[in-house]
Structure 1
């Protein structure tokens, strides 16, 4: 006997989006260790949709998610979940080869870029220091309403009758008698399929289930919210260093979100920002613009988790098809969530149509065994 068709561990954007997609067809248990879903990586996202972010292997999932985010069904969400921002990949004379490589990587993808010279760059970024003379403009980059998207997925899943159990850190997972036996917070359930959407904890869940871990490594990413003068323009694009050393974008009220684009290996945990990383971010910003920094209003850190080849892991484990991987989504889990959830659901429910333009073979866990 089993309690549910599907048990999903992790109610962040990965688990919530899949639950919403399959709960019309299957009974679903959604297990969350924290008091509320999305506490870790989902709730600490920099909240943008950028087709080139994550590289060519991630771009098909991002592109396939765009129309859903721009025009969701009325019953899913009232209005668009992303809004135009634009992205500027910014460099010095020494970064020309990096710009060329970025254009080459996406030459046949349909991602739109435009080369910009100094005069055009200054129209996007006031107060730019003299060294920054080259850029690639990516006009289709948008902000994402992360809270709105995550909440809409949870509401859809609940309308379909899922059981969401928060404050339930998984204590044991066992495969016996043809189903999974899951214990968490003194409760016990059974399910036919176990979905590992545990983010930074994905390999820990696999070990618990006696499934071979895939080497999914969490990394710390730092963001600081700064009060600056002049105030950050509301139409400032997402500005990304071509060398990968920073990105920044405006927040409401004229403040600035700034990251040193750090990836510090760490254990899975409730991570916190390090002062050295905040200082590094500010130092890098001061080498780009002449703005005065008044104070750090807020700072936080989140975890980004990657498989060894930095591609998402989506699909059944080759040794036990009842163990389904939905992990390794790095820092692009939000912007790829609609397509990723559709793809995962199509592997579990035959009647779900996979997203167009996405090759499932790119993401199956078999590649890592």
Structure 2
């Protein structure tokens, strides 16, 4: 007999959400390398829910997660975990084809996106420069309370008996006599199935277990908090460049969160912002609006990890049935967490229903073999 049914590697939003899904029916071990869960990517998220973010392949997971985030069960969290903001995708005349392509991509998806003209764009983005003439309005976009969501998943998992071990970087995991023999930090135990929810370290975990890696690559993403003049209105939507070169949204106290939407390939690490990326983001912002940048108050970077096709990887490894991938969530792991965890749980326990409108085959590791 093994000590645990499932050993989940990584206690960020992926590992925590899946532990919460499985723990009512199974004995779960949640292994975290850092001193606190969610240190790397989950705790550094820009915290929004945008149905078209990540493309048509990710959208079903985002859409299916919306009702849970808007109205979670009372025993999970008291009140909604996201609040309406709206998203505005903007571009110049040279970006018109990108707007048309985006409308075409999501035409059959049920996502509400509408084309708006220069006058409508300028009405919601004060100080907009004249050459920004096209916009796509996505009214359903919301801010997500990431800390509350992650904390609620961890509490639910704990209530159902999940054992969380922090400061426990995985050393070895060997398949022996039908179970995994695991050494992580000071922990030595066994589990029937390993779930790889290690984010940027997903391929490293696969290599430790001698399961072949899938080419999941971490990328650095930079965000800075700015004080600007005039102060950013609280009702400003999330503003995203149609060409993918920036996004910004308001923070409390009239501040602004700004990202150059950078993706710099990097080894798995404790990511730090690069001054060049911060400067590039500010330059791009000044090409969009005429605001005065008073100072950079904070700056940070997180890791977004993608499989080669930029879709999540959810399912049993083709070469080892007792190794389950739950990785490659890119920058959309928060907004897809409820549906992704439910999908993964349904693949691990036949008595758990899969989310409606989500095709598990799209995310299966078998697509890489």
TM-score category by the smaller chain?
A: over 0.9
Match of 1:341 in 2: 341
Q: CA deviation at 1:129?
A: 0.5
Match of 1:360 in 2: 360
Match of 1:138 in 2: 138
Give the 5 Å matches for 1:96-115.
Answer: 96-115=96-115
The CA deviation string for residues 162-193 of structure 1, in whole angstroms up to 9 with x for no partner, is 00000111111111111011101122010000
Match of 2:310 in 1: 310
Contact 1:25–1:349 at 8 Å: present in 2 too? no
Match of 2:211 in 1: 211
* Distance in 1, Cα, partners of 2:137 & 2:104: 15
Question: TM-score normalised to the size of structure 1?
Answer: 1.00
Match of 2:223 in 1: 223
The CA deviation string for residues 119-174 of structure 1, in whole angstroms up to 9 with x for no partner, is 10111100001110110000000000000000000000000000000011111111
Bigger mean CA deviation after superposition, 176-185 or 334-343: 176-185
Match of 2:258 in 1: 258
Q: CA deviation at 1:341?
A: 0.2
Give the 5 Å matches for 1:1-369.
Answer: 1-369=1-369
The CA deviation string for residues 79-125 of structure 1, in whole angstroms up to 9 with x for no partner, is 00000000000000110000000001101000111111111011110
Bigger mean CA deviation after superposition, 58-67 or 108-117: 108-117
3-state SS of 1:236 partner? coil
3-state SS of 2:281 partner? helix
Segments of structure 1 that go 5 or more residues without pairing to the other structure are none
* Distance in 2, Cα, partners of 1:62 & 1:86: 15
Contact 1:7–1:28 at 8 Å: present in 2 too? yes
* Distance in 1, Cα, partners of 2:114 & 2:344: 34
3-state SS of 1:140 partner? coil
The CA deviation string for residues 18-63 of structure 1, in whole angstroms up to 9 with x for no partner, is 0000000110000000111000000000000000000000000000
3-state SS of 2:181 partner? strand
* Distance in 2, Cα, partners of 1:243 & 1:119: 20
* Distance in 1, Cα, partners of 2:88 & 2:95: 14
Bigger mean CA deviation after superposition, 38-47 or 178-187: 178-187
* Distance in 2, Cα, partners of 1:368 & 1:265: 21
* Distance in 1, Cα, partners of 2:228 & 2:340: 37
* Distance in 2, Cα, partners of 1:124 & 1:70: 24
* Distance in 2, Cα, partners of 1:274 & 1:354: 41
* Distance in 1, Cα, partners of 2:169 & 2:296: 34
* Distance in 1, Cα, partners of 2:220 & 2:174: 31
3-state SS of 1:290 partner? coil
Contact 1:70–1:80 at 8 Å: present in 2 too? yes
User: How many residue pairs end up in the alignment?
Assistant: 369
* Distance in 2, Cα, partners of 1:130 & 1:123: 13
Contact 1:315–1:347 at 8 Å: present in 2 too? yes
* Distance in 1, Cα, partners of 2:255 & 2:187: 45
3-state SS of 1:88 partner? strand
* Distance in 1, Cα, partners of 2:233 & 2:357: 36
* Distance in 2, Cα, partners of 1:186 & 1:250: 43
3-state SS of 1:202 partner? helix
* Distance in 2, Cα, partners of 1:141 & 1:220: 24
Question: TM-score normalised to the size of structure 2?
Answer: 1.00
* Distance in 2, Cα, partners of 1:74 & 1:276: 45
3-state SS of 1:315 partner? strand
